[in-house]
Structure 1
Amino acid sequence: MAKDLRDFLATLEAEAPDDLLRVAKPVVPQEFDCTAILEKLDRRGRRPLVVFESPTDVAGRPSPVPVVMNVFATRERCARALGADPARPGMELALEFARLGRHPLPPVTVPPGAAPAQEVVHTGQDVDTSRLPIVTHSEGDYGPCLTMTLIVRDPESGAYNVAFIKAFYDFDSPRRLRITIHSPDSLRALKHYEDRGLPMPIVAVLGHHPAFYLGSMGLTSYQNDDYATIGAYLGEPLRLVPSRTWGEEFVVPADAEILIEGTVPPGVREICDPFGDITRQYQAQTLRPVMDVTAITHREEPLLQDVFAGHRDHMTVGQIPKEGSLFNTLTDRFGSMVKAVHLPYSGCGRLACYVAVEKSKEGQGKAVALAALQESFTFQTVVVVDAAIDVFDEEDVLWAVMVYTDPSRDVDLVHNMPTLFTTAMGTRKVLIDATRPLDRAMPEQNRIPAEALNRVRLEDYIEE
């Protein structure tokens, strides 16, 4: 059996039943029922995967399609998805992601009859996105929004690019979506098509095994084939099937829950956004491309997956892949000097990056910071600390900043850099070398001997 979303749900329910919550009571996703429930759970420190079993569709009708949310809300659950140890969700998980990323698996193509994602096919006048239980996330959002990945194909190399791209329900037409593309690779492909006056094929994937989505979020080159990369994280070749719209010219994930196929017409822009995005702020309303839907295919009894925007579910799905990808890039360049990488939740899993190094001379910390900054245009602050500092313990990182940083030489402001998110920093980036200075006298950091920590067991001295 190929890995898919329902396979993951069944495994999770069997191995960690408290980590999955089913809501049987009817909900109206378009009236914030789903996100209000998740918000209340989050405020209590609870972040289970939630299956809303009785939602309404956009037209207000009872929908037979359950909505699955909060899949990525904990690193422990993401570890399970990657076959890693959920008891070690810190740097060990990032290192496992880094290891898997070095071993892409070419995908395989199956015939349509072997593809669950095409058990039911809607084309032509039968296409109707209002039948879907699309979620409205935040109070000021433009409207119901699909938050999962869309796929485009590089017209020159033929490589497939899978990226998280928002697709808003279009109240003017059930056969059109309004899409917000941020991925540089997807924008580059769109420019290629628009420069030639051609429509761009694009496909939305509304549900798959979590490893599929985690595998799409690494820091890879433009012509990287994401289908092969995703296979590495699934632990098996990704199964593909010829699309209903373009056949073998554009193949799509065979084990997805729901697929929406369509084209982006050149030069067409419609009002889109605002949307409460990952920075916990609204993206401004603007003009965006549209997607004319040519086909909707799905399983006999599909699930619709959605990301809880602006919360841990949203942050973690990109946080872990970028930690692993960046660790690979930095160790390729600097070797074993680089020990750990973390994108903290305080930076929404995108804006800030902490790197631990074992430097041997001054300047190495800043060199690593510069290299890290160039790997993702979402980074706005990069902090480099010593290997003794736990980058997953933000209090530890800030201690290093307060004690070891000389602002006159260790803090750099880089101007006029590419950026994505709107913050007060604008196009400026900050580099902080918070490693212990080697060229001046500094006290040693006090610590308990490792021998004592290994020898002493709390249960021998303290009764729980």
Structure 2
Amino acid sequence: MRTRRIMTDNSNLRTFLSEIAQSEGLTEITNPISPDLAVTEVLWSFEQAHEKPAVWFDSVNAIDGTEAEYPVVTNLFADRKRCAQALNSTVRDVGLEYYERERQQRQIKPQRTESATAPVKDHVVTGQNCDLSTLPIITHHEGDAGPYITAGVCIVPSPPDKDWGYNAATIRLEYRGPRELGLFMIPGRHTASYFEAYEENDEDMPIAIVLGHHPTFHFGAQTLHSIDIDEYNVIGGMRKSALPVVESATLGDDLLIPADAEIVLEGEVQAGDRIEEGPFGEYAGYYGDQAADRHKVRVSGMNCRSDAIFHDIFAGHPDHLNLGGIPIEGRIYDSVKETVSSVENVYLPPSGNCRQHCYVKIDKKKPGQGRNAILAALAPYDLVKHVIIVDSDVNLFDDRDILWAIATRSQWDKDLIAEGGFSSITLDPSAENYEITARGGIDATMELDEEYPDRLESAGIDVEEFLDSATKTLDMPDR
């Protein structure tokens, strides 16, 4: 294992890898390794040691057992600091920075590029020559149905009878054969609505699966907009620059793909056809919906760089959680600010899967603001179950400090809000029949009309010279 340095050429995944290689280094695993649980076992070991490195695997076998041509990079989003770096922000403010970019609704149309200059067109295969078994697709957990593409951003064009533009979404894809994938689309989400429009006309839905791009591409795919907004334009706004695109190998201008991606698969989601998909280890830390008939992707083409990098996301772990949680924080902040103008920050911690727990810091000015903030924080996003409101002196990013505030500044007979009967997601096993959940919060702020003792604090004395002289000994020091 060593720290890897990587050269960069354009504003893409390689740009970001170069930045983090220079700032903290990429952890490189040089020994050949199996994609079947071994890769994620390495990531488990880092996580159990409370380490969050971005990891580069030099030699991961392909599904067919041969040595894959592509190195695998994973765990990029595991550290909130790297997510902040991708958005030119800070650990504290990255959620607010994301929301500011989203709220501005700045849209930059993609820039058309010629195939001859598009890196993703270095190597193109179509039809029977397209074989997914040559890719190092990872099996993440023992109970998973099989290998899964977890970092694929699915791009679909507007149905012919609509004027919706391109949609982008990160969706899990199960490897089902050399040219087949199982696709898990959540009913009611935009991708599912696109497919319904295609299927109503007995048409297959074109799809491009983007594997490997700058994190702003992934964050752009997480934005919430009305269905008629072209999300290629939204991604451009998130990047603050036009996204280079090029025609696809099998559908030409009818399906434009990112020109500087690492790998782009092309295909169609089959109308009127289903395939068994699942189970899969999901963000809540449990295996999600069990095997069921879901949508089938028939892969017809693959575009990739000559030295392509395969990007994987460690599902159900911080690499997965941060990508979904950070985009929510700013929306909650905005909702709370309408009610409590002195709100300072919002954080969705990994302890709640970056979705179900929400910490809100306020500078409390009058009684009742803590309770108002709880209700406002629950409003924007139905996955949030538990809201904790704290004072300005509490470290929002330290679970111990949050629990300390609950222990010393709240009384549950008057500071707890709880209400049942809310619709739930199917991934919450504590919900009634996986459908109905309770939501609420705790006001762990100090009462304004009560005098609290001073909190213990460091004296701020410079002790660096003493720490420099510190040593460990196995014997009692001489007296």
TM norm. shorter chain > 0.5: yes
Moved more, 308-317 or 394-403: 394-403
Say yes or no: does 1:380 pair with 2:381. no
User: Which one has a larger percent helix, Structure 1 or Structure 2?
Assistant: 1
Conserved 8 A contact 1:215-1:229:
yes
Matching residue of 1:145: 148
Per-residue CA deviation, residues 70-107 of structure 1 (Å, 9 max, x unaligned), is: 111111222222223xxx42x22323323333443413
Cα distance, 1:210 vs. partner?
2.0
Question: In 2, distance between residues paired with 1:212 and 1:285?
Answer: 30
Cα distance, 1:409 vs. partner?
6.5
Q: Structure 1 residues 361, 111: CA separation in 2 closer, same or farther (over 3 Å shift)?
A: same
Q: Structure 1 residues 405, 46: CA separation in 2 closer, same or farther (over 3 Å shift)?
A: same
Equivalent residue letter for 1:23: I
Cα distance, 1:371 vs. partner?
3.7
Conserved 8 A contact 2:211-2:261:
yes
Question: In 2, distance between residues paired with 1:147 and 1:214?
Answer: 15
> Unpaired segments of 5 or more residues in structure 1?
none
Equivalent residue letter for 1:7: T
Question: In 2, distance between residues paired with 1:401 and 1:381?
Answer: 13
Cα distance, 1:335 vs. partner?
6.8
Matching residue of 1:275: 280
Cα distance, 1:136 vs. partner?
0.5
Per-residue CA deviation, residues 346-374 of structure 1 (Å, 9 max, x unaligned), is: 11112222222345455544444334333
* Of 417, 420, 430, the match for 1:414: 420
Match of 2:136, SS?
coil
Equivalent residue letter for 2:96: L
Matching residue of 2:182: 178
Cα distance, 1:68 vs. partner?
0.9
Question: In 1, distance between residues paired with 2:62 and 2:440?
Answer: 47
Equivalent residue letter for 1:143: G
* Of 292, 296, 307, the match for 2:313: 307
Question: In 1, distance between residues paired with 2:440 and 2:42?
Answer: 39
Q: TM-score, normalised by structure 2?
A: 0.85
Conserved 8 A contact 2:249-2:301:
yes
Say yes or no: does 1:430 pair with 2:435. no
Q: Structure 1 residues 193, 380: CA separation in 2 closer, same or farther (over 3 Å shift)?
A: farther
Matching residue of 2:101: 100
Cα distance, 1:49 vs. partner?
1.2
Match of 2:272, SS?
coil
Matching residue of 1:110: 113
Equivalent residue letter for 1:259: V
Question: In 2, distance between residues paired with 1:191 and 1:408?
Answer: 48
Cα distance, 1:448 vs. partner?
6.2
Question: In 2, distance between residues paired with 1:43 and 1:300?
Answer: 35
Question: In 2, distance between residues paired with 1:461 and 1:22?
Answer: 35
Q: In the comparison of the two structures, how many residue pairs are matched?
A: 449
Match of 2:82, SS?
helix
Say yes or no: does 1:442 pair with 2:450. yes
- Matches for 1:20-419 after TM superposition, within 5 Å: 20-29=26-35, 31-84=36-89, 88-89=90-91, 91-103=92-104, 104-106=106-108, 107-148=110-151, 149-155=153-159, 156-171=162-177, 174-182=178-186, 184-283=189-288, 284-331=290-337, 333-334=338-339, 336-402=341-407, 403-407=409-413, 410-419=416-425
Per-residue CA deviation, residues 39-82 of structure 1 (Å, 9 max, x unaligned), is: 12222222211111112111111111111111111112222222
Cα distance, 1:446 vs. partner?
2.6
Conserved 8 A contact 2:335-2:379:
no
Per-residue CA deviation, residues 406-428 of structure 1 (Å, 9 max, x unaligned), is: 44563122313242423213421
Q: Structure 1 residues 9, 409: CA separation in 2 closer, same or farther (over 3 Å shift)?
A: closer
Equivalent residue letter for 1:97: Y
Cα distance, 1:437 vs. partner?
6.9
Matching residue of 2:472: none
Larger radius of gyration: 2
Q: TM-score, normalised by structure 1?
A: 0.88
Question: In 1, distance between residues paired with 2:438 and 2:192?
Answer: 23
Question: In 2, distance between residues paired with 1:282 and 1:245?
Answer: 35
Cα distance, 1:433 vs. partner?
3.9
Match of 2:423, SS?
coil
Match of 1:266, SS?
strand
Conserved 8 A contact 2:119-2:260:
yes
Question: In 2, distance between residues paired with 1:329 and 1:189?
Answer: 29
Question: In 2, distance between residues paired with 1:262 and 1:415?
Answer: 41
Moved more, 175-184 or 143-152: 175-184
Equivalent residue letter for 1:379: V
Cα distance, 1:24 vs. partner?
1.7
Match of 2:21, SS?
helix
> Unpaired segments of 5 or more residues in structure 2?
1-8, 469-479
Question: In 2, distance between residues paired with 1:197 and 1:368?
Answer: 48
Cα distance, 1:219 vs. partner?
4.3
Q: Structure 1 residues 10, 224: CA separation in 2 closer, same or farther (over 3 Å shift)?
A: same
Equivalent residue letter for 1:300: S
Cα distance, 1:460 vs. partner?
7.4
Conserved 8 A contact 1:219-1:326:
no
Per-residue CA deviation, residues 305-341 of structure 1 (Å, 9 max, x unaligned), is: 000112111112222222234334544x347332211
Equivalent residue letter for 2:308: P
Say yes or no: does 1:10 pair with 2:30. no
Identity %: 32
Equivalent residue letter for 2:55: V
Cα distance, 1:254 vs. partner?
1.4
Cα distance, 1:113 vs. partner?
2.3
Task: Output the aligned Cα RMSD.
Answer: 2.6
Question: In 2, distance between residues paired with 1:14 and 1:337?
Answer: 38
